[in-house]
């Protein structure tokens, strides 16, 4: 009973009269109302009547009528309830007014109904039923005695034509994808080629609806999974936010402890210096108290001698007074000089110092900067068809909104315009000799080392590559990295000071001792630290531009490096590098701490060499004759 009442209150109540539906009608917007309520409302809407449409009292959407020339009453009477509403009403035994005659109800009467017409879907009293049977259009309609059927409308409704009200839908036009009656078929569908009977098409309809149900169930499950995943992410973000807040408070407390300690040091120093000077003044005051008592006693004694009139006592006192006065004149009775204690404060300097204090940094990370992200292989771009079985290095950037991927090949550069899942034409750019290292410069430029001819070539992309110029160098260079718009960092073949800072003319400005004799790959971090890989000694080294060591990575055991190659960095400074023979891309912090294996052989990565990130966070790795493109989820 509770369920029935809930369904009735929630779904079977007209919002106009706030009663359970009486002869419900559903509009195109899927809102349902009593026909009588809807008729009264429509008659008050003159604009809708002129537009030959029925306005929805709830959302104001217009429902176009099929017979605009008929009276408004017929507009509403031809509306039927939705299948959902009708099924609910059938399941719940109809509305409380199901026993009222539909015709009498229009006249404001409540005559009990006895017979239900399955075609008109209306209930009639005995008098109205007689009139119903006299009409030629309705005399053959099937009627049921509601007294026998327990005041329940039949659940299986006749499938009647909406245009020809007395015709049953018996055919289905496949061309128009609609059910039709025989009259519609002979009049409006004569030119249609494929018309089947309803019985013949019913298995296909059922199968289609079942497939649609399965598809909807899959969609529903997808939505449920997405909602669950979103809830999990919300919970994770909330928990993470609270943990970060706690960390911020700990950092603030640590900084506050420093200020409190400095405050205590200053207060203790003030107390100590003040106490020292106070003790000096107290000692002086005590000595003066003693002198005061002595002088007071002497004064009293002299006064007594004078008042006694004893000549001998007065002369004795007179002689002592003369002697004491002489001594007193020579005595130093000055107050001790004490230095002042002052507190020199510099509020502006303090505020500048406080403003420079960094408790930490809060930022949104995405892609590989987010250590919880999972790289996903988006595409493998095949260069092996060009007989390039090894692609040492790769760069990728956008040129006027077009992604351009460029790899080093035998004696040329090979560029493609990258559009996901679409084949792109490759553009070959011949170079004077075999390239070894490539570095992305500012804008849409790149530089390439040509060690055989001791040159550095400068390439522009628009988006096709063009050789702009070359410069001669004094030695052969292999690895190459971009330092700033006026300087490059290049790796020599051999020698202890194996890394040079060059100007754009190829001139050596400075040499750096990295401890790596043959750096094939070089990268400059956001802090201008130089990171080089040494395949032969299986290590990764980072130094400052002054040659000061930042870190050297030579792990042992399961994490031992096999053949470190290309290097790049994320937006947050994390270092990514390819370890060729272990088939991995490894992630480190900016200080060289191990984070994780980003990509492994499980993601179909074989013998990686070159590596780069574009501005959208896509990771490009050369793997044999392919460039593997990875995104993050």
- The encoded tokens of residue 546 equal 């002054």
pLDDT digits (tens, 9 = 90+) for 498-535: 899 999 999 999 999 888 888 889 999 999 999 999 88
C-alpha dist (Å) from residue 366 to 285, 403, 586, 615, 620? 75, 20, 17, 12, 16
Cα 311–Cα 314–Cα 317 angle in degrees, nearest 5: 150
Task: Give which of 391, 492, 504 is closest to 442, Cα–Cα.
Answer: 504
Q: Which of 196-205, 223-232, 492-501, 592-601 has the lowest mean pLDDT?
A: 492-501
Say which residues have a Cβ less than 8 Å from residue 425's Cβ, sequence separation at least 6: 416, 417
User: What whole-number distance in Å separates Cα of residue 614 and Cα of residue 406?
Assistant: 12
What is the model's pLDDT at position 1? 42
Higher-pLDDT residue of 85 and 556 is: 556
Half-sphere exposure of 253 (CA within 13 A, CB side): 6
pLDDT at residue 155 tops 50: no
Higher-pLDDT residue of 48 and 587 is: 587
Question: Per CATH, is 2-170 categorized as 3.40.190.150?
Answer: no
What is the model's pLDDT at position 330? 46
Q: State phi, psi for 431 to the nearest 5 degrees.
A: -120, 160
| 208 in Cβ contact with 174 (< 8 Å) | no
pLDDT digits (tens, 9 = 90+) for 171-197: 888 888 888 888 888 888 878 888 888
What is the model's pLDDT at position 510? 92
pLDDT digits (tens, 9 = 90+) for 410-464: 788 888 888 887 767 788 899 999 999 999 998 889 999 999 999 999 999 988 8
Is the bond leading into 463 cis (omega within 30 degrees of zero)? yes
Higher-pLDDT residue of 568 and 386 is: 568
pLDDT digits (tens, 9 = 90+) for 458-497: 999 988 899 999 999 999 999 999 999 999 999 988 766 7
- Percent of the chain residues topping a pLDDT of 70: 91
Do the strands 539-543 and 530-534 form a parallel or antiparallel pair, or are they unpaired? antiparallel
Burial label for 137, CB within 10 Å (0-12, 13-18, 19+), is exposed
Q: Which of 383-397, 556-570, 606-620 has the lowest mean pLDDT?
A: 383-397
Q: Specify the CATH number for 367-632; select among 4.10.410.60, 3.40.720.10, 2.120.10.30, 1.10.760.10.
A: 2.120.10.30
| 482 in Cβ contact with 440 (< 8 Å) | yes
Domain range list for the chain: 2-170, 222-356, 367-632
What is the model's pLDDT at position 466? 92
Query: What would the 3-class secondary structure string for 44-108 be?
Result: CCHHHHHCCEEECCCCCCEEECCCCCCCHHHHHHCCCCCHHHHHHHHHCCCCCCCCECHHHHHCC
- Residue whose entry in the numeric block shows the structure tokens 């990575």: 553
DSSP 213-270: HHHHHHHHHHHHHHHHHHHHHHHHHHHHHHHHHHHHHHHHHHHHHHHHHHHHHHHHHH
Extract the runs of DSSP E, i.e. beta strands, from 426-493. 426-430, 437-440, 445-450, 455-461, 465-472, 477-484, 487-492
Q: Which of 123-127, 349-353, 537-541, 566-570 has the lowest mean pLDDT?
A: 349-353
For residue 158, name the pLDDT band (cuts at 50, 70, 90). low
pLDDT at residue 324 tops 60: no
Q: State phi, psi for 290 to the nearest 5 degrees.
A: -65, -45
| 114 in Cβ contact with 121 (< 8 Å) | no
| 494 in Cβ contact with 520 (< 8 Å) | no
pLDDT at residue 95 tops 50: no
- Residue whose entry in the numeric block shows the structure tokens 């299948």: 83
């Amino acid at each position: 009973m509770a369920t029935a009442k809930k369904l009735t209150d929630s779904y079977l109540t007209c919002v106009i009269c706030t009663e359970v539906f009486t002869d419900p009608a559903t509009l195109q917007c899927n809102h349902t109302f009593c026909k009588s309520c809807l008729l009264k409302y429509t008659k008050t809407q003159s604009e809708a009547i002129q537009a030959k449409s029925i306005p929805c009292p709830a959302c104001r959407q217009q429902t176009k009528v099929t017979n605009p020339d008929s009276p408004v009453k017929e507009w509403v009477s031809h509306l039927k309830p939705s299948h959902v509403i009708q099924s609910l009403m059938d399941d719940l035994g109809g509305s409380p007014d199901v026993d009222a005659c539909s015709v009498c109800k229009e006249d404001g009467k409540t005559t009990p109904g006895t017979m239900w017409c399955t075609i008109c879907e209306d209930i009639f009293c005995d008098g109205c039923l007689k009139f119903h049977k006299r009409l030629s259009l309705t005399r053959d309609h099937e009627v049921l005695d509601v007294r026998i059927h327990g005041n329940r409308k039949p659940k299986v409704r006749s499938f009647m034509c909406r245009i020809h009200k007395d015709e049953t839908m018996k055919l289905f036009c496949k061309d128009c994808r609609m059910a039709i009656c025989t009259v519609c078929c002979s009049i409006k569908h004569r030119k249609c080629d494929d018309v089947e009977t309803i019985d013949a098409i019913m298995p296909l309809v059922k199968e289609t609806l079942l497939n649609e149900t399965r598809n909807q169930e899959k969609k529903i499950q997808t939505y449920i999974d997405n909602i669950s995943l979103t809830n999990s992410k919300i919970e994770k973000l909330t928990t993470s936010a609270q943990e970060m807040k706690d960390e911020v408070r700990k950092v603030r407390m640590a900084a506050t402890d420093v200020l409190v300690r400095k405050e205590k040091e200053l207060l203790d120093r003030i107390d100590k210096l003040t106490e020292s000077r106070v003790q000096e003044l107290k000692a002086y005051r005590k000595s003066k108290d003693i002198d005061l008592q002595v002088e007071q006693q002497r004064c009293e004694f002299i006064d007594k001698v004078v008042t006694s009139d004893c000549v001998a006592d007065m002369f004795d006192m007179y002689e002592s007074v003369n002697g004491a006065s002489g001594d007193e004149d020579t005595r130093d009775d000055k107050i001790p000089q004490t230095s002042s204690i002052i507190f020199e404060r510099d509020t502006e300097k303090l505020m500048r110092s406080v403003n420079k204090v960094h408790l930490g940094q809060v930022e949104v990370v995405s892609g590989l900067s987010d250590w919880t992200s999972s790289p996903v292989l988006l595409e493998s771009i095949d260069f092996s068809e060009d007989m390039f079985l090894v692609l040492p290095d790769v760069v990728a950037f956008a040129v006027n909104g077009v992604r351009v991927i460029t790899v080093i090949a035998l004696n040329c550069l090979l560029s493609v315009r990258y559009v996901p899942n679409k084949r792109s034409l490759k553009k070959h750019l011949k170079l004077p000799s075999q390239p070894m290292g490539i570095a992305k410069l500012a804008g849409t430029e790149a530089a390439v080392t040509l060690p055989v001819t001791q040159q550095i070539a400068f390439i522009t992309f628009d988006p096709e590559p063009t050789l702009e110029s070359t410069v001669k160098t004094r030695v052969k260079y292999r690895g190459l990295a971009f330092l700033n718009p006026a300087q490059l960092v290049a790796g020599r073949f051999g020698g202890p000071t194996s890394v040079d800072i060059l100007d754009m003319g190829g001139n050596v400005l400075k040499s750096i001792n990295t401890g790596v004799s043959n750096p094939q790959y070089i990268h400059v971090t956001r802090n201008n630290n130089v990171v080089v890989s040494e395949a032969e000694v299986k290590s990764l080294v980072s130094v400052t531009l002054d040659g000061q060591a930042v870190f050297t990575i030579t792990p042992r055991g399961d994490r031992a490096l096999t053949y470190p190659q290309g290097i790049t960095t994320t937006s947050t400074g994390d270092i990514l590098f390819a370890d060729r023979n272990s088939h991995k891309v490894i992630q480190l912090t900016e200080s060289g701490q191990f984070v994780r294996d980003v990509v492994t052989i499980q993601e179909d990565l074989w013998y990686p060499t070159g590596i780069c990130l574009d501005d959208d966070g896509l990771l490009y790795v050369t793997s044999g004759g392919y460039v593997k493109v990875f995104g993050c989820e």
